[in-house]
Chains A and B, each alone.
Chain A
C-alpha cells in the first residue's frame, strides 16, 4: 500500500472528550475567595483595619510558603491556582481581631507546610490546612487566641479586652452581661448582623450566608453539609441541657454564634478533605454538628467547630468508602 504522505498540516491530537465545561481549579478557588468577601467586609466594618492586615498577612504567608516548598521540591509553582490564598484567608477568618501580625504568618506557614504539603500538596491532604494552622497557633498561644476585641459598633467598645468575651464564651463562663438576651446589651439580632465579639470572619451571620448562597448557586458547595451540620447543632442545643455552671443559649443563638456558619459553609465543605457523595456529606455534616454541640455544651472549650471538622476529616476516606453510589444495573 502506498506510503503515507508527509502531512501538509499538523493537527492537535488529544484523548476524548474534545469538549470541556471550562471549570478549572483557579475558577473554583477564586469563586471561594469572592464568596468570602462579604465576611471580610463585615470583619473590616466591625473590627477595623486590623482585620484586613491580619487577612493579608495570612494570605501572603500562605502563598509564599507554598511557592517556597514547591520550589524546594522542584515542582511547578502553582500558587496562582488560588488554593493557598483560600487557606490563608480562612485561617485569618478563624483568628481574633486583636492578634499580633506574626501570629497569622506562623499559622499560615504551619498550615500550608504541615497541613497541606507534608501530605503531598493540593488534593492530597487529609485535614483542612487552615484549621491545622489555627489549631497550631491556638495551642501555642492560648491566651492571645482567646482574647477578644469588642466590635467598634458595640456598646462595650472601650471595655478592657481581657474581660470581654464572645457570646459562647460568656455563656460558658456565666458572664451574664455578654449572653444575648440576658440584660439587653447583646441581642440575637446583634449576632445575626455581626455586632458581637469573635473571630474576624465569623462575626456576621448575614455575610456568611450571602457567601454561602453564592457558592451554592455556582455549584461549588452542596446543601447537604451545611444543612446537616447546622441542623445537628440546633437540634442538640434544643434537646440537651447545658452543663450546670453555664448559662443556656437558645438553639438559634448556638447557630448564629461562634464559628458554626463559617465552619459549616466554608470549611466543612472543603472539597479536598470532605466526602464526595450527598449521603457522605450528610454523615459528615451530622458528625460535625454532634461533636460541636457536645464540646460547646460539655467540653472544656466554649467552641468546638474547628475540632469537629478536623475529627470528621479523619473519617472522610471511610465515609467515602461506604457511601459510593450504586453502579447502574447492580
Chain B
C-alpha cells in the first residue's frame, strides 16, 4: 500500500460519503423568500445599502463592506426587500438579516464584467466585489487572504480538497464536475500572491477526483495534485500544510508565515466564476444527507434559502427523534429548527438520529484525547482548567491553539464536552484581552 501524506494525531471516522458522492449537483429553484444574514464573513459584517420595500435584481449589491476585513452581499433572487432586522440564529444572539420576497417573473441576473487577464489587484478587488469568502465554514474574506503581509513570501498556493468531515461531498462533486474551474481558481490565487507552485490535495477516498484533476492539470508544470491519508482533521489548514510540506504554522500564526496560502475547493471555484464570468457569490452547493433521508444529494441553492427547502428536496424528514446539524458531524452546529437560512459557509445539512449517550462523567485520565489531539494539547486538562476557571493556566497550556476539530470529545470515554469547554475558555480569554 502506498504511503500517503498525513499528520500527527487525529482519528479515523466512518465516512458515510457513499450516501451522496455519486449524486450530481442539482440546481434547486429559488425559494419564495430568502433571508440573507449580514454576518456571513469573519471580521465586520457588511452594512445594508437597500431599504424595506425596494425592488432588487438578482446579483445586485444589498450590503457593502464595512472596513478592510469585511465582504459584500448580493441579492440572491430578484424581488422586493420584505424586511431588514433581527433574525434568530443557531449560535449566539440574534443577527441582522435582509429578507427578500422573490419575484418569480424576473429571471435575469446582474453580473460583473468578466476579466480575462486580471492583475493581482484586480483579482483581489473582484473577490471583494463578488463577496467571496472562505466557503469551508470559516468565512474569511478572500481578498484579505489574497493580500499576505508585505514581508511574507508565498511559495505555495494550496487547494484544500481533503473534505475530511464525514457525509460531506460538496468539494468532491465540485472537483469532479467543475475541475477546470477549480484549477483556474488555483491559478488566480497563485497569480494574486505570486506563488510559484500550486498544490491540490485530496484524501485517498476521493481517487476519482484525484485522477480527474491530474488529467486536467497535467499540462500545468507548476501545479501538482497530492493524495492524503484518510484521517480527520486532515482538512485543518495547519494539518494540511504539515502533511504536504512538513512545515508547522507557528502557534497563533498564519499559513503565510510558512509561505502558504490555503483555500478550499468551493472558494477557488467561486473565485474563478467571479473573475471569468463576473458571477457574484449568491449560491453555493450544500450536501444534504443523513440516516433516513430518502433522497440525499448535493444541491446548488441560493444563499438565504431556508433549510426547510433543502430537507424537502431530499425527501422530507424521517420519523423519530432527530438531530439536525448544519455543517459536518464533527464541527457542525445542531439546530433547533429548520427556519434558518443557508449562508456562504454552509457546507452540509445533516439529519442524524438523536443520541442519548452519557455526557460529562468524571475523567478517567485515559489520555485518549491527548493522543487524538492534532495540536499537541492535553484537552482533558484544558477542559478541567475551564471548569475551575483557571484562565491563566488555560492560556499557558495552549487553550488558544485549539482548532475545535472535536477529536478529543469524539474519543472521550467519559463523554466530556471538551470542545465546548475549550470554546468557552477561548471566549473568556478574548473577553479578558479587551
User: Interface of A with B (CB < 8 Å)?
Assistant: 1-2, 4-5, 7, 9-21, 23-25, 27-28, 78, 81, 121-124, 220, 271-272, 276-277, 324-330
Contacts and interface: CB of A to CB of B under 8 A. Distances in A.
Given A7-B337, A324-B378, A329-B250, A24 B238 contact: no
Contact of A2 (B83, B355, B358, B368): B83
B198 interface: no
B87 interface: yes
B330 A11 contact: no
Interface in B178-215: none
A17 B329 contact: yes
Contacts of A325: 370, 373, 376-378
A12 B321 contact: yes
A11 B323 contact: yes
4 pairs of A and B residues whose beta carbons are closest in the complex: A17-B406, A276-B367, A123-B362, A12-B354
B420 A328 contact: no
Contact of A277 (B322, B367, B413): B367
Interface in B300-326: 317, 321-325
B289 to A, nearest CB: 13
Given A24-B413, A330-B251, A15 B166 contact: no
Contacts of B375: 327-328
Contacts of B323: 11-14, 18
Contact of B413 (A15, A25, A121, A124): A25
A20 B330 contact: no
A20 B334 contact: no
Query: Chain A interface secondary structure, helix, strand, loop or mixed?
Result: loop
A106 B37 CA distance: 66
A327 B419 contact: no
Contact of A16 (B332, B376, B380): B332
B111 interface: no
Given A13-B323, A24-B413, A28-B366, A329 B248 contact: yes
B354 A328 contact: no
Contact of A11 (B242, B334, B370, B374): B334
23 contacts: A4-B339, A9-B322, A11-B322, A11-B323, A11-B334, A14-B334, A15-B420, A16-B329, A16-B333, A17-B329, A17-B409, A19-B329, A23-B413, A25-B364, A78-B361, A122-B364, A123-B365, A272-B364, A276-B367, A327-B375, A329-B238, A329-B249, A329-B401
Given A2-B99, A325-B377, 13 more contacts: A1-B84, A1-B99, A7-B338, A11-B334, A12-B321, A16-B406, A19-B166, A19-B330, A78-B361, A276-B370, A325-B370, A328-B248, A329-B253
Contacts, number: 167
Nearest to A326: B376
Interface string B78-102: 0000011111100000000101000
B56 to A, nearest CB: 17
A278 to B, nearest CB: 9
A18 B87 CA distance: 25
A78 B364 CA distance: 14
A275 B39 CA distance: 45
B415 to A, nearest CB: 7
Contacts of A12: 321-323, 334, 354-355
A24 B357 contact: yes
Contacts of A20: 355, 357, 409-410, 415
Contact of B364 (A1, A2, A28, A328): A28
Q: Which of B250, B337, B373, B374 has the most CB of A within 10 A?
A: B337
Given A7-B336, A12-B354, A123 B363 contact: yes
A328 B14 CA distance: 26
B69 interface: no
Contacts of A1: 83-87, 97, 99
Nearest to A2: B83
Contact of B358 (A19, A24, A122, A271): A24
Contacts of A5: 339
A242 to B, nearest CB: 37
Given A1-B99, A276-B365, A277-B370, A16 B331 contact: yes
B355 A327 contact: no
Interface string B232-265: 0000001000100000111111000000000000
